Amino acid sequence: MNELWYFYADWCPYCQKQNPLIDEFEQENPGVTVVRIESTDTDALEVNNVTSFPTFMVFKDSDFLKALNGLTTKEDLAELFA
């Protein structure tokens, strides 16, 4: 199972810019489940040590690969799952 955890905040201008790209990424990569976690889920933020938005956590075949902070492209995200 491949998952992309997307930690975001509704008030974050970078997240607002990233949201349409995440929607496109999800449509173009049906083999990757995108899990959106909003900033109000403080337990999830704490457990995963998320301190900035947007933050991405990448899991491939159920193994944690890496965490990314800041804006990214859908192409860069797709390469992580290639």
Closest by CA position to 67, among listed 30, 37, 23, 41: 37
pLDDT at 62: 85
pLDDT tens-digit readout, 8-40: 999 999 999 999 999 999 999 999 999 999 999
- The enclosing domain of 47 has a CATH number of 3.40.30.10
Number of domains in the chain: 1
**Coil vs helix vs strand at 10:** coil
Backbone angles phi, psi at 56, to 5 degrees: -120, 140
- 73-82 pLDDT, tens digit per residue, is 999 999 888 8
Enclosing domain of residue 46: 2-80
pLDDT at 71: 95
d(CA 32, CA 66): 15
Residues 6+ apart with CB under 8 A from 19: 8
Q: Distance between CA atoms of 53 and 55, rounded to whole angstroms?
A: 5
Question: For 47-59, how does the pLDDT look when each residue is reduced to its tens digit (9 = 90+)?
Answer: 999 999 999 999 9
HSE of 29, CA atoms in CB hemisphere, 13 A:
22
